[in-house]
Structure 1
Amino acid sequence: MRPPKRPIHVISTWVRRQPPKVKAFLAVVAGMSALVVLRAIVHDHDNLFVAAEAVHSIGISLLIYKIMKEKTCAGLSLKSQELTALFLAVRLYCSFVMEYDIHTLLDLATLGATMWVIYMMRHKLRSSYMEEKDNFEIHYVVAPCAVLALLIHPSTSHHVINRIFWGFCVYLESVSVLPQLRVMQNTKIVEPFTAHYVFALGVARFLSCAHWVLQVLDTRGHLLTALGYGLWPSMVLISEVVQTFILADFCYYYVLSVFGGQLVLRLPSGVV
C-alpha cells in the first residue's frame, strides 16, 4: 500500500499540469492574497522597504558564506554582481545628495559586500567562474536603462543630473538579475546557496513592490502625485512589478524544491 501523498505534492502536481494562463492567474491571486496579509499585519508600510533591503543584504551574506565555505563561485553571474554594484553605487550617490536615511546605510553595507564578491570572483576564485555560461550581454540592459532615464525621470526640485541618476538606478535594479537567471538557464542545476540567494532577491523584490502598492492604496493615489508628474510615477510601479515577475517563476520552483526536500534545484526547460 502506497503512503498518502503530502498536500504540497498534490497541489504542486496539479499546478504543474495547468496551462500557462491558469498558472499566471494563480500567481496573481497568490500575490494579491499576500498583499492583503501584509496590509493586515504590517502597520507601517515603510518598514516593508527596509525589510526588502535587509533581505537583499541577507542574500549577499549567503553568497559570501558560500564563497568562504566552498571556495568556489560556480553558478554565480559576475555580470549580475557588477550590475548590482552599479545600481547600488548610483542609488547611494542619490541618497547622499537627495535624502540621507536608514536606506543609505543598508545600501552602503550591501554595496560593500557586493564589491567583495566581485573581487573574489575576478581574482581569488577566477578558475571556478563559469564565464562561458555567463553570456548575457549587459549593454542590452544598461543602454536602454540610460536612455529611459534620460527620457523619464523624477520631476522633483533636485538637479536634473541627480534626477536622471535616480531614474537610472530604478530601471537598472529591475533587470540586474537577468544575467544570473541566464546562468541558471544555461546550467539547469542550481546549487543550494545560489538558489537561496536568488530566492532572497525574489522576496526582496516582492516586499519592495508590496511597499509601493500598499503606499498607493493607503494614500488613495496621492503618493503618485508626490512622486512627481508625467510618466515617472507609473514607471516606478512598473519597474517594481517587472522585478517581481522576473523572479516569480524561479521562486515557485524553489519553494517546490524546499518542500520536496531537494538540496539541489533542478529547473525544467523554459524556466527563467
Structure 2
Amino acid sequence: MGRRRGSSYVSVLFGWVRDQSVKVKIFLGVLIAIFALVGLKLTIRDHNYFFVLSEAVHLAGILVLFYKLVTQKTCSGLSLKTQELTALFLGVRLICSTVMENDIHTVLDLISLLSTLLVIYRIRFKLKSTYIKDLDNLKLSFVVVPSAILAIVVHPFIAHFRLIRILWAFCVYLEAISVLPQLRFMQNAKMIETFTGHYVFALGVSRFLALAHWLIQMYESGGKYFFLVGSGYFWFLAAFLSEMVQSFILADFCYYYVKSLVQGQLLRKMPV
C-alpha cells in the first residue's frame, strides 16, 4: 500500500514537471544536477574515482548489449556505427592509457574494447540478418573527421610525444559524439528496444560522472584547474565542452528513461 502511494506521488510530481515551461524544466534539471554533484563531492574524496566509476558504468552498458545479443539472438535497435566508433575511441584511449598511465583505467579500457569488439562481431556476422542498415544512416565521416581535425588543432601540451597528445584529444572528442548514430537510429526506428535503452542510459550516467570530476575540480581550485592539468587553456576548455556536449545530448533521454521506470513502464519511443 505504501509502495503504491509513493509511486502515485512520484507520478504526480512528474506530471507537474511535464506541464511546466521549458525554462522551468531546465532550471529544475540544473538544480537536481547541483544536488547530485554536492552529494558526490561529500561522499567521494578521491576525484580519480569519478573517472573509474564512469568507465565501469560504460563497461556495464556494453555488457548489457552483449547479454542481449547472446540471449535474444537479435541486434534489433542497435547501431553498428556507434559500436564501431566506441571501439575506435576505446582503442585509441587504450594506446594513450598504456603510454601515459598504465593503471586501472588501462584495464577497464581493455575489457571495454574487447567487449565492444565482441558486440561488433556478433552484429556483423552472427546476427547480420537482424541488423537494419537503412536505419543506421549517419555517416561516420561526419563524426570522425571533425574530431580528428579538432584534435590536431587543439590538444594537450604535456610531457609525451605529440602523436600521443593528438590521439588523446581525438578519443576525447570522438567519445563525446559517438552516441549520435545510436540516437539517430532510434529516431529513425521511432522506437527504443529495452536493452538498448539500458545501454544509452548507462552512457548518460557515465558521462555525468566524468563531468562531475571536471566541475568539482574547477570549484575546489577556484577555476585554477583550467591551468593545472598541464595542458593549456584551450585544450581544457575543449575537453570540458566535449563532456558538456555529450552530457546534454543524453540528458533528455535519461530524464524520460527515469520517468518511465518510475511509472512502472519501459521507454518505448524517443522523446521529441
The separation in 2 between residues aligned to 1:59 and 1:107, in whole angstroms, is 13
Aligned CA-pair RMSD: 1.5
**Which deviations, in whole Å up to 9, do the C-alpha atoms of 1:136-183 show, x marking residues without a partner?**
112111111111001100011211111111110000000000000111
Find out whether 1:13 has 2:29 as its counterpart.
no
The separation in 2 between residues aligned to 1:87 and 1:173, in whole angstroms, is 6
Aligned residues of 2:226 and 2:233 also touching (Cα < 8 A): no
2:214 aligned partner: 212
2:190 aligned partner: 188
**Which deviations, in whole Å up to 9, do the C-alpha atoms of 1:173-223 show, x marking residues without a partner?**
000000001111112221221111110110000001101211222333343
> Which amino acid letter does the alignment assign opposite residue 135 of structure 2?
K
**Which deviations, in whole Å up to 9, do the C-alpha atoms of 1:93-124 show, x marking residues without a partner?**
11112221110000000000000000100010
Aligned residues of 1:254 and 1:265 also touching (Cα < 8 A): no
The separation in 2 between residues aligned to 1:34 and 1:263, in whole angstroms, is 24
1:45 aligned partner: 47
Instruction: Please point out which of 179, 182, 192 is paired with 2:181.
Output: 179
1:224 aligned partner: 226
> Which amino acid letter does the alignment assign opposite residue 152 of structure 1?
V
Higher mean C-alpha deviation, range 138-147 or range 75-84: 138-147
Q: Residue 266 of structure 1 aligns to a residue in which SS?
A: coil
The separation in 2 between residues aligned to 1:108 and 1:219, in whole angstroms, is 32
Once the two structures are aligned, what percentage of the paired residues are identical? 52
The separation in 2 between residues aligned to 1:263 and 1:67, in whole angstroms, is 19
Instruction: Please point out which of 131, 146, 149 is paired with 2:148.
Output: 146
Aligned residues of 1:136 and 1:179 also touching (Cα < 8 A): yes
Instruction: Please point out which of 236, 242, 246 is paired with 2:245.
Output: 242
Query: Normalised by the size of structure 2, how large is the TM-score?
Result: 0.94
Q: Which runs of 5+ in 1 are unaligned?
A: none
1:100 aligned partner: 102
Q: Which runs of 5+ in 2 are unaligned?
A: none
Aligned residues of 1:76 and 1:180 also touching (Cα < 8 A): yes
Aligned length: 267
Find out whether 1:24 has 2:26 as its counterpart.
yes
Find out whether 1:121 has 2:123 as its counterpart.
yes
> Which amino acid letter does the alignment assign opposite residue 248 of structure 1?
A
The separation in 2 between residues aligned to 1:180 and 1:158, in whole angstroms, is 34
Higher mean C-alpha deviation, range 126-135 or range 22-31: 22-31
Aligned residues of 2:256 and 2:267 also touching (Cα < 8 A): no
Query: Normalised by the size of structure 1, how large is the TM-score?
Result: 0.94
The separation in 1 between residues aligned to 2:266 and 2:251, in whole angstroms, is 20
Aligned residues of 2:227 and 2:233 also touching (Cα < 8 A): no
Deviation of 1:241 after TM superposition, in Å, equals 1.1
2:262 aligned partner: 259
> Which amino acid letter does the alignment assign opposite residue 232 of structure 1?
W
